[in-house]
């Protein structure tokens, strides 16, 4: 059991093995990137869990037009007769298992195990049920400023590679979706290179050099989180899950202090960000960063 602070600031116990707090970001009034045209049904804190009765609950069905257009990474509509997904299983090369527990199928639709979100359908997510991502948290100690230890806590300051997402403008870990059949370790390094180093615009030779440089470093990661994410795109039938790894370098002679950061792909900016409790990050990323700060006994 973990204790969570809910949207209304009351403390509640939450019987999920997850670090993620109760739905907060995926209960905003409007569905993201719809110019406030798509609203979520209001779900009070005490009605998030499916076991709480909510007789009038009839959320709007919404699947974004770019998903309905059928891009390669998206599932067909559930009503499509050829679509025969294997729920809670690895379905061909698509992982439809949750990292947390089995989810229920209700009236043919996978049901979000973390409760109601005020909207049904897939929203802007490609897959019904879990949509898997991976998040590389690349950290080093702050050494360049006068203030390398925090004035109040006296603890050393940790920095992580932080990107600004192109879709929402929010700052985030440079993570991304696990491609079908891809190993999470591959996603972690690929996404870091695409978003924080802009390797998509490198020559073949430059790409190879960068990869060789990073390969060893990316073998030494430690898992800090695996499970559900309170992502603003989640719906009652589709949600984000992630595996977050910390890749830390303490030596100033290692690769991180000389790494040239360049935003690319889904990122519009990138920087080394000082870690503290003042951070406001995309989805549940602040929770992951807090765990990393605690792991290194750094300032938070
Ligand atoms: C992001 C990840 C994030 C996940 C869940 C993905 O789009 O790239 O960084 O953890 O969504 O919010």
Q: Is residue 300 part of a domain?
A: no
CA distances to 51, 133, 286 from 14, rounded to whole Å, are 13, 24, 19
The predicted model gives 265-290 an average pLDDT of 96
Q: Is residue 128 part of a domain?
A: yes
Q: Please tell me the distance from the alpha carbon of residue 294 to that of residue 300, in angstroms, as a whole number.
A: 8
The predicted model gives 120-146 an average pLDDT of 93
Q: State the CATH number of the domain containing residue 101.
A: 3.90.79.10
- Return the pLDDT at 33: 92
Structural domains of the chain, count: 1
Q: Is residue 231 part of a domain?
A: yes
Q: Is residue 148 part of a domain?
A: yes
The predicted model gives 186-207 an average pLDDT of 95
The predicted model gives 195-206 an average pLDDT of 94
Ligand 1 site, CB within 6 A: 133, 135, 172-173, 175-176, 229, 231, 240, 242, 283
User: With 50 as the cut, is the pLDDT of residue 4 above it?
Assistant: no
Give the pair of three-digit tokens for residue 238: 């589709």
In a 13 Å sphere around the CA of 84, the CA atoms on its Cβ side amount to 2
Q: Is residue 250 part of a domain?
A: yes
Computed over its alpha carbons, how large is the radius of gyration of the chain? Answer: 20
Q: Is residue 67 part of a domain?
A: yes
Q: Is residue 80 part of a domain?
A: yes
| Residue 20 confidence class, pLDDT cut points 50, 70, 90 | low
pLDDT more than 70, % of the chain: 92
- Return the pLDDT at 5: 33
User: With 50 as the cut, is the pLDDT of residue 7 above it?
Assistant: no
Q: Which atom of ligand 1 is nearest to the CA of 191?
A: 8
Q: Please check whether residue 64 is in contact with residue 72, taking contact to mean a CB–CB distance below 8 angstroms.
A: no
Q: Range of 261's domain?
A: 2-295
- Return the pLDDT at 21: 62
> ∠ CA(7), CA(133), CA(284), 5° rounding?
20
Q: Which of 15, 22, 222 is nearest to 117 (CA)?
A: 22
Q: Which atom of ligand 1 is nearest to the CA of 240?
A: 5
Q: Please tell me the distance from the alpha carbon of residue 257 to that of residue 94, in angstroms, as a whole number.
A: 37
- Return the pLDDT at 151: 81
- Return the pLDDT at 17: 46
How far away, in angstroms, is 136 Cα from ligand 1 center? Answer: 11
Q: Please check whether residue 45 is in contact with residue 8, taking contact to mean a CB–CB distance below 8 angstroms.
A: yes
Q: Is residue 33 part of a domain?
A: yes
pLDDT digits (tens, 9 = 90+) for 98-110: 999 999 999 999 9
- Return the pLDDT at 145: 63
25, 64, 241, 283: residue to mutate for ligand 1 pocket, most atoms within 8 A of CB: 283
**Taking the model in full, what pTM does it have?**
0.91
The predicted model gives 37-64 an average pLDDT of 96
pLDDT digits (tens, 9 = 90+) for 211-249: 999 999 999 999 999 999 999 999 999 999 999 999 999
């Amino acid at each position: 059991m973990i204790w969570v602070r809910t949207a209304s600031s009351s403390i509640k116990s939450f019987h999920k093995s997850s670090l993620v707090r109760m739905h907060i970001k995926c209960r905003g009034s409007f569905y993201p990137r719809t110019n406030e045209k798509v609203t979520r049904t209001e779900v009070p804190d005490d009605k998030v869990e499916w076991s709480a009765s909510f007789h009038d609950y009839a959320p709007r069905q919404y699947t974004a037009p770019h998903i309905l257009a059928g891009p390669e990474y998206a599932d067909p509509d559930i009503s499509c007769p050829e679509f025969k997904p294997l729920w809670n299983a690895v379905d061909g090369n698509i992982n439809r298992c949750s990292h947390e527990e089995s989810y229920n199928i209700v009236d043919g639709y996978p049901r979000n195990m973390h409760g109601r979100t005020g909207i049904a359908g897939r929203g802007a997510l490609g897959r019904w049920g879990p949509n898997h991502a991976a998040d590389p948290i690349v950290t080093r100690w702050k050494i360049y400023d006068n203030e390398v230890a925090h004035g109040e806590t006296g603890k050393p300051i940790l920095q992580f590679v932080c990107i600004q997402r192109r879709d929402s403008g929010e700052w985030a870990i440079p993570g991304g979706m696990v491609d079908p059949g891809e190993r999470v370790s591959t996603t972690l390094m690929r996404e870091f290179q695409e978003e924080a180093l802009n390797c998509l615009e490198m020559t073949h030779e430059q790409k190879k050099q960068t990869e060789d440089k990073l390969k060893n470093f990316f073998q030494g990661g430690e898992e800090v989180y695996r499970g559900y994410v309170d992502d603003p795109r989640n719906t009652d039938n589709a949600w984000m899950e992630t595996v977050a790894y910390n890749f830390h370098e303490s030596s100033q002679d290692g690769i991180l202090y000389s790494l040239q950061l360049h935003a690319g792909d889904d990122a519009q900016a990138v920087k080394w960000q000082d870690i503290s409790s003042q951070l406001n990050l995309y989805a549940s990323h602040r929770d992951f960063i807090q765990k990393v700060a605690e792991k290194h006994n750094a300032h938070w």
